[in-house]
Structure 1
Amino acid sequence: MKEPIEFKLSGDRAFSEREKAINQLYNRRYFGEVVNGKLFLSLIEAAYLMERGKIKVLDGGKELSFEELFELGRKKDDQFDIKYLVYKDLRDRGYIVKSALKFGSHFRVYRRGMDEHSQWLIWVVPENLRFSANDITARVRVAHGVRKNMVMAVVDEDNDVVYYKIEWVKF
């Protein structure tokens, strides 16, 4: 087994300056984003890669366990658990998953490489969430405006994920 790539915790992200990280994780699998020669991962991406033994994350020289990193994610985002489940499910299915905060959703999803536009915007919700029709309408409008499909990922109490595509219907 290959030695995990070392990342350092920085706020709500982890980063590595190692060229190996950029080559193996970004150039080949599209994890994170490269800024000024450093690969930055969200905590969800870092947790996913850590769970698979691909990286280790240090906080001030101390190596974090998966549980410690996950708990940090929970402290920063009360929906970290369900977002992680959806992220993991999509990545395990072979999709490329990136943040979609600027589109008012949680993730944007690519079928193949980053050479093409993402196809879907994913809004992650627990099954017991109460929301209005306006919540859905606003997200569908944004998705339509950027030529993407709006998908609601509903996570039930058993941590199963069901995906619902939401779209305009014209009569």
Structure 2
Amino acid sequence: MQPTGELRGDAVRVGGDARQRFYDSRGYGRPLSGNEIALSRIEAAHLLFRGDLSGVVLEDGGAAIGFERFFVASAAAAERFAVRYLVYADLRDRGFYLSPTRDRWPGGDDAAADAVDFVVYERGSTPDTGDVRYPVQVVGERQTVPAAGLAGRTLAVVDEESDLTYFAATQPDVSGGTDYTPPTGLAGALLEDRVVVWDAPDALYDRGFYGRPLTGRAAEVEGALQLSLVEAASLAADGALSLSRTVGRRRDDGDDGDRGTESAGDTSRTADDTNRTADDASRAAAAVIDRGRAVEGDRFDRRLAVYRRLRNRRVVPKTGFKFGADFRTYLDVDTVDDLPHSEHLVRVVEPDHTFEPRELSLDVRLAGGVRKEMVFAMADAADGSGDGDDAGGVEWLSVSRLTP
């Protein structure tokens, strides 16, 4: 004869030999006094579904009810009960012991984060040991998920057909071994949405993988390199790049003399006229950043902060447009002629970004399909021209598919 439980508040209490039958042997519930245990609604529903409980008596008394009525009543009383139950049952079917995180899990020393629904123990571990393998956060496909705080959790997404997809969220160490320092004294012409350096040294592209050469069949121009605005802004912030300046001549009405004019960013001026000073580089950085903001708003500052952080970590970021991301990264570039495959796709988001599970799944699936790791860089809109590895305040989050 299977035991019957009694619902008290949010827990189902089971007496008799419940501790030996359910907790000690299979990790269900929390032990109370004697042999009594307290089951969460989800644990009780799973035992009802398996036929290990004969029924549950509700708080208002009456006859014990079976799985169907208890499931419907619990779905009405407990938030996200249906999707959480599906994940719990799936992980149990995979052979894991797991516990709801409410009021600390059995054997756990610390309370889990509010968003965590279950802790899944290492195979062979029991709730008493507290050896946690997966802290699981459960969401439906139409819920949003804050990016902040997600690192270290396993995200279990339940779609509209009750299929489950698991994602591992970690804090990656995005650092590389590219050994290249750009030269100073570069001069560029600021165009509408890029900068051209007409006499760029070969190593700037070949070794540093900056920009893209302006080449073509039967081209007579050599050394021309097109830089993106983030590349140019970063080089200028490092004091390596200024914008072309020249002295023009004009005659004002009623004035027989010539008057010189100067303006940073005039594309008609050449590198020979460039004043390579720190002030020029500072003005160049400001001009390029202003142009970037005009092109894409404060998103430019976030992308620049991430770009500079990656370069400071000896990682080479290049555009990730073909993959629907902000950057793709190369950790160890020796020469462009011997270029390795890129390792990451980086999407730049705001610190308070929330994921739509469908879009997250698309990003992760695409990255996995091209053998790259999907990384999200949470960056504020602070001026990305600042110095140091902490410029811009960037936090990193890696998300990948997981099969528990």
TM-score (norm 1): 0.85
CA deviation after TM superposition for structure 1 residue 61, in Å = 4.2
> What does 1:10-159 correspond to in 2, within 5 Å?
10-18=8-16, 20-37=17-34, 38-55=36-53, 56-59=55-58, 60-101=61-102, 102-103=111-112, 104=114, 105-110=116-121, 111-114=123-126, 115-131=129-145, 135-140=146-151, 143=152, 150-159=153-162
SS at match of 1:139: coil
Deviation at 1:100, TM superposition (A): 2.4
Secondary structure in 1 aligned to 2:137? Answer: strand
| Contact 2:125/2:131 (<8 A) preserved | no
Contact 2:4-2:64 within 8 A present in 1 as well: no
Task: Provide structure 1 residue ranges, at least 5 long, that are not aligned to the other structure.
Answer: 144-149
* One-letter identity of the residue aligned with 1:78: E
Quote the residue 1:167 is aligned against. Answer: 170
How far apart are 1:76 and its partner, in Å? 2.1
State the Cα distance separating 1:127 from its structure 2 match: 1.1
Identity of aligned residues (%): 31
Q: Is the 8 A contact 2:150 2:169 kept in 1?
A: no
Range with bigger deviation, 90-99 or 52-61: 52-61
Aligned to 2:348: none
Secondary structure at the aligned position of 2:75 is classed as helix
Gaps in structure 2 of 5+ consecutive residues:
103-110, 175-404
Paired residue type of 1:17: G
Q: After superposing the two structures, state which structure 1 stretch, 158-167 or 95-104, moved more.
A: 95-104
| Higher strand residue share | 1
Cα deviation, residue 113, structure 1? 2.4
Distance in 2 between residues matched to 1:100 and 1:112, nearest whole Å: 19
Which runs of structure 1 show a deviation greater than 4 angstroms over 4 or more consecutive aligned residues? none
Deviations 1:105-150 (CA, angstroms, capped at 9, x unpaired): 000001222225111100001112223xxx233132xx4xxxxxx1
Contact 1:100 1:121 in 2 (8 A): no
Aligned counterparts of 1:61 and 1:79: Cα–Cα separation in 2: 26
Q: Give the superposed CA RMSD.
A: 1.5
| Whole-Å separation in 1 of the counterparts to 2:148 and 2:137 | 12
Partners in 2 of 1:24 and 1:47 — Cα distance? 16
Q: Deviations over 1:12-55 (max 9, x none)?
A: 1111221x211110110010001122210000000000011001
Secondary structure in structure 2 of the residue aligned to 1:62: coil
**Partner of 2:160: helix, strand, or coil?**
coil
In the alignment, the residues of structure 1 paired with residue 88 and residue 3 of structure 2 have an alpha-carbon distance, to the nearest angstrom, of 21
Query: Are the counterparts in 1 of residues 4 and 14 from structure 2 also a CA contact under 8 Å?
Result: yes
Greater relative contact order, per chain length (Cα 8 Å cut-off, separation 6+):
1
**Are the counterparts in 2 of residues 34 and 40 from structure 1 also a CA contact under 8 Å?**
yes
CA contact (8 A) 1:126 1:155 kept: yes
**Structure label with greater radius of gyration:** 2
Contact 1:12 1:76 survives alignment (8 Å)? no
2:94 partner letter:
R
28-37 or 82-91, which moves further after superposition?
A: 28-37
